Amino acid sequence: MHPLDLPLSAVRALLDARRVSSSELAEQCIARVHERSSLNAFVGFSPDILREQARRADEALRAGQRLPLLGIPIALKDNIQAMGHGCSACTPALALSMPSRDSEVTRRLRDAGAVIAGMLNMHELAFGITNHNAFSMAAHNPWDPLRIPGGSSGGAGVAVAAGLVPAAIGTDTGGSIRVPSALCGVTGLRPTLGRVPQDGIVPISASRDTAGPLANSVADCALLDRVLSGDASALPEIRLDWLRIGVPRDSFWMDLEPEVREICDAVLAAMSQAGVQLVECSMPGLRETDAQCSLVVACHEFVRDMRSYLAIQGRGVGLEEVVAQVRSGDVRRLLEPLLQEGAVSEGVYLAAMAGRQRLRDIYSDTFAKNALDALIFPTTPRVAARIGEDETVELNGRQVPTFPTFTRNTDPGSVASLPGVSLPAGLASGLPVGIALDGPLGSDRRLLSIAAAIEAALPPVPRCARAD
């Protein structure tokens, strides 16, 4: 198997044994990015910068240095600052300046020895779920290039699924790691809010944004979580017959594509056969509460947090200029009113934040009353839409709004600040389907252990055909 297709632990072993060099990995990465350039996964890619980082990593390896990611190429969503690379959030106004410092996430990756492979395509300013961007152009799902990869971390999902890099770092506000993970057939982790530092990341919402990994396995996500969070604790031992997993039928399992339902029901059957106790549970009021606070919080905090980011990071433009230059119609229609008559007032925002606490209470009550270790549900109710289906998409014979359809199951846990994982569950008509787990606040390492145990109990999911 190609080294870029191996788990991070296997790449680590090859590098440490000098069976492959970081420079060889870099050349393989460069070749694959070139061969699959039509996928438009990268918006910033410099072979010379990649080669120089790999050369220094090889020197460190020859000197006997050992670090968890030393010499391994990791790519970043284009809203995560990295010295030597642009950080445009795939919007014109931020493409005019280079960041003057690494984000804290990038610093931690470099400290762990990672080679920063480049910057990945995304929905403009992270305000969308299709990655159909009028400025950086669409990223294409490697399973079917006519379809979306999901967003807003679409380039990250593409890069990992296509084998351009073994792992990538995205950001998640309402599903932007887990949705592309599901639609591209990879694994993604949204950490508990605050677990990973947000310094140096172009924001939407300080109370909702978090960076996290997309990779080929739960073990790879766990390694990257350890690097990003600084939590070096071992994953706790988990046996499937110890677990009580909630199945919230009324809130998360309604109105699914038939093949998606069939695949996710098969996951439940495999879990039950392996000894998991599946607990049917209800979460009354969850949908209504999420709808009352989700967008209000994000829109109010964007105006506040983006102004602060632009000033602190010295990007050379103001918020008004950023919004004025937005190219994507869906993003422009959302953001322009926020600077005018559509601004969210402080009172409305505070009421929404109170709603967010009620949403957290719904989750905590559900976990406590049912003695649950996690909740399980389909990551998205259908497979990837076609590129251009930006406003509506078909679901069970009717047209429904695209954005809320794809984030329907991932958004509530995000608003409640919970950790979440999306795993590949199978293929529906040749396209990936994801199964998601949400855990209680702060349960990231335990949730990863649960996800790893479930991953091991499921039949292997085919991987996307990759460049040689």
Domains of the chain, with CATH numbers? 3-457 (3.90.1300.10)
Side-chain half-sphere CA neighbours of 284 within 13 A: 0
21, 22, 88, 152: the active-site residue: 152
One-letter amino acid of 143? W
Residue identified by tokens 């106790």 is 277
In tens, the pLDDT along 425-440 reads 999 999 999 999 999 9
Q: Give the span between the Cα atoms of 129 and 175, in whole angstroms.
A: 8
Three-state secondary-structure class, residue 437:
strand
Q: What is the mean pLDDT of residues 139-149?
A: 98
Q: What is the dihedral of CA 164, 166, 171, 175, to 10 degrees?
A: 90
Q: DSSP per residue over 376-413, as a string?
A: EEESSSSSPPBTT--SEEEETTEEEEHHHHHTTTTHHH
Query: Tell me: the pLDDT tens digits for 313-363?
Result: 999 999 999 999 999 999 999 999 999 988 999 999 999 999 999 999 999
List 23, 176, 181, 443, catalytic entry: 176
Q: Is 369 a catalytic residue?
A: no
pLDDT for res 341: 87
Of the candidates 40, 136, 49, 126, the residue with the CA atom closest to the CA atom of residue 85: 49
CA Rg, the chain, in Å? 21
Question: For the whole model, what pTM was predicted?
Answer: 0.98
Distance in angstroms (rounded) separating the CA atoms of residues 316 and 95: 11
SS3 37: helix
CB 384 within 8 A of CB 181: no
Percent of the chain with pLDDT over 70: 100
Percent of the chain with pLDDT over 90: 98
- CA dihedral (6, 9, 15, 21) in degrees, to 10, reads 30
Using alpha carbons, list the distances in angstroms from residue 94 to 125, 337, 339: 10, 20, 18
Residue 158 neighbours by CB distance under 10 Å = 33
Q: What is residue 110's predicted lDDT score, i.e. its pLDDT?
A: 98
Beta bridge partners of residue 80, listed in sequence order: 201
Which positions ≥6 away from 369 have C-beta within 8 Å? none
Nearest-angstrom CA–CA distance, 356 and 286: 10
Give CA–CA dist 338/182, Å, rounded: 31
Write phi, then psi, for 420 (nearest 5 degrees): -145, 145
Q: How confident is the model at residue 466 (pLDDT cuts 50, 70, 90)?
A: confident
| pLDDT of amino acid 103 | 98
The pLDDT tens digits for 81-100 are 999 999 999 999 999 899 99
Exposed, middle or buried, 317 (CB in 10 Å: 0-12/13-18/19+)?
middle
How far apart CA 272 and CA 5 sit, in angstroms, is 31
Element (H, E) at 273: helix 258-273
Catalytic residue among 21, 46, 77, 417: 77
Q: For this structure, is 345 an active site residue?
A: no
The rounded mean pLDDT for the chain is 97
For Cα atoms 425, 427, 428, give the angle at the middle one, nearest 5 degrees: 120
Assess whether pLDDT exceeds 80 at residue 118. Answer: yes
* 186-205 mean pLDDT: 98
Instruction: Check residue 23 and give its pLDDT.
Output: 98
Please name every residue paired with 244 in a beta bridge, in sequence order, or none if there are none: 277
pLDDT above 70 (res 449): yes
> How much is the pLDDT for 2?
86
What H or E segment, with its residue span, contains residue 215?
strand 210-215
pLDDT 10s digits, 27-85: 999 999 999 999 999 999 999 999 999 999 999 999 999 999 999 999 999 999 999 99
Cα(201)–Cα(113) distance, integer angstroms: 20
How far apart are alpha carbons 90 and 343 in whole angstroms? 24
Q: What is the pLDDT of residues 206-225, one digit of tens each?
A: 999 999 999 999 999 999 99
Of 219, 242, 215, 268, give the one whose Cα is nearest residue 445.
219
Q: Any catalytic annotation for residue 176? A: yes
Question: How do beta strands 42-44 and 115-120 pair?
Answer: antiparallel
Q: What is the pLDDT at residue 254?
A: 97
Is 465 exposed, middle or buried (CB count within 10 Å of its CB: 0-12, 13-18, 19+)? exposed
Question: Would you place residue 1 in the very low, low, confident or very high pLDDT band (cuts 50, 70, 90)?
Answer: confident
- 239-277 confidence digits (pLDDT tens): 999 999 999 999 999 999 999 999 999 999 999 999 999
Which pLDDT band holds residue 468 (cuts at 50, 70, 90)? low
Whole-number pLDDT of residue 467: 57
For residues 201, 303, 309, 289, the Cα torsion angle rounded to the nearest 10 degrees is -40
